[in-house]
Amino acid sequence: MTATTDGSGGPVRAHAATAGELTDIHAPARPGGSDALGNARRAVALSVEHLLSRQDAQGWWKGDLETNVTMDAEDLLLRQFLGVGDAHTTDAAARHIRGEQRADGAWTTFYRGPADLSATIEAYVALRLAGDLPDDPHMVLASAWVRRHGGIARARVFTRIWLALFGWWSWEDLPELPPELIFLPNWFPLNIYDFGCWARQTIVPLTVVSAKRPVRPAPFTLDELHTDVRQPNPSRTLAPALSWDGFFQRADKALHLYHKVAPRRLRKAAMDAAARWIIERQENDGCWGGIQPPAVYSLIALHLLGYDIDHPVMKAGLESLDRFAVWRADHSTDAAGPLRMVEACQSPVWDTCLAAIALADAGLPADHPALVRAADWMLDEEVVRTGDWAVRRPRLPPGGWAFEFHNDNYPDIDDTAEVILALRRVRHPDPARVEAAIARATRWTLGMQSKNGAWGAFDADNTSPLPNRLPFCDFGEVIDPPSADVTAHVIEMLAYEGGSDHPRTRRGIDWLLAEQDVGGGWFGRWGVNYIYGTGSVVPALAAAGIPGSHPAIRRAVSWLESVQNDDGGWGEDLRSYDEEEWIGKGASTASQTAWALLALLAAGERENKAVERGVAWLTGTQRMDGSWDEPYFTGTGFPWDFSINYHLYRQVFPLTALGRYVYGEPVLAGLSQRGSDG
């Protein structure tokens, strides 16, 4: 993890920015010049060297995946609950958490974002577990901030679940989630496959936790975090009975009554079925879906069902969590040891395919050993077994790639499309192997198209509106509807595979054209935000043969020109997901500037002054070692609710954009001209 400092070695403590504060935090690494192409060539050479130096010997790349301190706090709470904590881990995690605290005592969920109540409560509790005292100055600030903003009663459900595990909150005051949910057939509303895969993997173990309602005696109270200790959960007015919210609120009350009378044999059978479901989805390395949240709740659920810490399933799960930890030195003046940051996920497949694309588009020969090693590693990572996606597509043969090192249950469409585009840039010594993998992946991708002609990330037609209505689901997006960015990547891939005129491709293009925002951009589901969506869609449309003169592309170009910052770069704050005034606005970043340039270049705007200014911003802010700095978060897990700083984005996307500026649009090695029959 790269620490962001204020110039003196200490972490920046900036207030939450407003839409009008578009201050560029970067100082140019070297003076700009009028020779944009020459500067771009030099920047490309430096960046290629830097990126090659970061490749693992096995062929993959992986940058840190930075989120927020709730990951670290919940890791410590899990270890406390299971009784497996150790002083070294706790102290290092606490140092990281303290280092992320703002001057007002709160914590945020993304760089320079607004303070967040749930993150602050979880960070505070984790520091109490680490030995910090309520009357320590930084803890006094934190507890006062929590009380001013409503106390624990106003925290999200998941935060209060963690507190309930230790008796700091009442299970009776939490939404009910019965394990009998596992028995609902796939066609029934609110069955587990109506949820996105990340929510599904989390909710199934949580049904066991909700049924068991465990309490481990807490080592201290949290009275200082309540606005009124005598009434920690003030009553709320029920919504009208005929509204969805009102219906689910009343249904939750009924489920609380059911909890008291649930038939024992039925409940036990449901929890046993949930345990089997969880264990069947444990990956070979011990994790669940390659992401941290399902792992922690699965471990708790299995432990409650009698799996002891030394059971192979539990041991493998705990060992997998240790691999999510990033250890780094603490460079502050009063450093007392290392810092430990927990990644919510790891992104080697995504990082590797993007790095391969960047290097190839920057002029690296198609048979360069680094690209061949990357291709070999990606081919080894192909998913060839059936996963949960087959519930909606039972006759579809497997294929494709997942995001993580180990995740055979949940390949995703976005990674699959980008891996194919990366493999097509490599002249591999075994072309038959590449062709076979791409054929399987293309067939799988086409089969995962949703009814509306677009693609989601993990499942087809995962669009039920009901899961988001549940009182339990206040932690972010819990369904996986089609998105413009994923659909665009698929269209781009299909176009390069010779399928521009295929009916499935045309349906996807029609969907993208209909989804364009009135301002000219496209919403970005997995990256921030309209700049990411537009930077994905325009290259895809161009690859599929849509001319630069098309009205949709002209509107996109005009919009990008209108939101370019005065310094020549582009940036968009995460608050654009929640507040329209932020759309296209934010401090310039390397990745977002690159996305804007990719769209403009694909639209045929190479001679546009906006492109020249954007290229100048990238070349002027590049570090002497060929890298870029980017403290701002430009990725998402859930738009607005869970934000990500992919540390490799700041390297791969600028290199791709500069490479295409210097060398033109990519020419893929071994380009297939065969249209798919779907």
645 strand-pairing partners? 66
Please choose, from the candidates 636, 648, 516, 637, the residue with its C-alpha nearest in 3D space to the C-alpha of residue 594: 648
Spatial separation of the C-alpha atoms in residues 436 and 456, rounded to whole Å: 24
253 band by pLDDT with thresholds 50, 70 and 90: confident
Residue 624 or residue 251, greater confidence: 624
For residue 418, pLDDT over 60 is answered with yes
8 Å CB contact between 296 and 75:
yes
Given 75, 351, 412, 414, which residue is catalytic?
Answer: 414
For residue 25, pLDDT over 70 is answered with no
3-state secondary structure of 500: coil
- The owner of tokens 């596992």 is 182
Please choose, from the candidates 28, 33, 40, the residue with its C-alpha nearest in 3D space to the C-alpha of residue 658: 40
8 Å CB contact between 102 and 124:
no
8 Å CB contact between 544 and 509:
yes
Please choose, from the candidates 421, 287, 366, 358, the residue with its C-alpha nearest in 3D space to the C-alpha of residue 648: 358
Spatial separation of the C-alpha atoms in residues 541 and 488, rounded to whole Å: 8
State the pairing for strand pair 65-66/642-646.
antiparallel
527 strand-pairing partners? 635
The alpha-carbon radius of gyration of the chain (Å, integer) is 25
Domain 36-63+347-466+478-663 CATH assignment equals 1.50.10.20: yes
- Where is mean pLDDT largest: 248-252, 284-288, 392-396? 392-396
pLDDT at 474: 75
Helix residue spans in 564-648 (DSSP H): 590-602, 609-621
376 catalytic residue (yes or no): no
Residue 482 or residue 2, greater confidence: 482
pLDDT at 336: 74
- The owner of tokens 């066991």 is 208
5 strand-pairing partners? 11
7 band by pLDDT with thresholds 50, 70 and 90: very low
For residue 200, pLDDT over 90 is answered with yes
For residue 668, pLDDT over 70 is answered with no
Q: Which element (helix H / strand E) includes 509?
A: helix 503-515
Spatial separation of the C-alpha atoms in residues 600 and 548, rounded to whole Å: 10
| pLDDT tens digits for range 313-347 | 999 999 999 999 999 887 665 567 899 999 999 99
Spatial separation of the C-alpha atoms in residues 562 and 166, rounded to whole Å: 52
Residue 36 or residue 343, greater confidence: 343
Average confidence (pLDDT) over 60-73: 96
8 band by pLDDT with thresholds 50, 70 and 90: very low
CATH topology identical between 36-63+347-466+478-663 and 66-228+238-342: yes
8 Å CB contact between 603 and 539:
no
- The average confidence (pLDDT) of the chain is 90
How distant, in Å, are the alpha carbons of 68, 496, 660, 665 from that of 540? 32, 10, 15, 12
Question: If you classify domain 66-228+238-342 with CATH, what class do you get?
Answer: mainly alpha
How distant, in Å, are the alpha carbons of 26, 281, 294, 490 from that of 320? 37, 14, 12, 31
For residue 170, pLDDT over 70 is answered with yes
Burial zone of 513 (CB within 10 Å; 0-12 exposed, 13-18 middle, 19+ buried): middle
Please choose, from the candidates 621, 66, 77, the residue with its C-alpha nearest in 3D space to the C-alpha of residue 345: 66
Those residues whose C-beta lies under 8 Å from the C-beta of residue 224, and which sit 6 or more positions away, are: 134, 143, 147
Instruction: Specify whether the backbone of 640 is left (phi greater than 0), alpha (psi in -120 to 50) or beta.
Output: left
Please choose, from the candidates 16, 219, 185, 207, the residue with its C-alpha nearest in 3D space to the C-alpha of residue 111: 16
Hey, what are 62's tokens?
């992986």
Burial zone of 137 (CB within 10 Å; 0-12 exposed, 13-18 middle, 19+ buried): exposed
Q: What is the DSSP code (8-state) at residue 609?
A: H
pLDDT at 537: 98
Residue 38 or residue 13, greater confidence: 38
Question: What's the CA dihedral at 608, 610, 614, 620 to 10 degrees?
Answer: 90
8 Å CB contact between 283 and 289:
yes
Spatial separation of the C-alpha atoms in residues 246 and 238, rounded to whole Å: 6
Hey, what are 657's tokens?
């954009």
| pLDDT tens digits for range 623-666 | 999 999 999 999 999 898 899 999 999 999 999 999 999 999 77
For residue 15, pLDDT over 70 is answered with no
Predicted TM-score (pTM) above 0.95: no
| pLDDT tens digits for range 102-139 | 999 999 999 999 999 999 999 999 999 999 999 999 99
pLDDT at 329: 86
Spatial separation of the C-alpha atoms in residues 46 and 62, rounded to whole Å: 19
Domain chopping of the chain, boundaries: 36-63+347-466+478-663, 66-228+238-342
CA angle (572 as vertex; 541, 115 as ends), nearest 5 = 140
Q: Which amino acid is at 106?
A: A
Q: Which amino acid is at 607?
A: E
pLDDT at 246: 74
Spatial separation of the C-alpha atoms in residues 649 and 523, rounded to whole Å: 19
Burial zone of 289 (CB within 10 Å; 0-12 exposed, 13-18 middle, 19+ buried): buried
| SS3 per-residue string spanning 322-353 | HCCEEEECCCCCCCCCCEEEECCECCHHHHHH
For residue 198, pLDDT over 70 is answered with yes
Which of 10-14, 368-372, 658-662 shows the lowest per-residue confidence on average (mean pLDDT)? Answer: 10-14
For residue 380, pLDDT over 90 is answered with yes
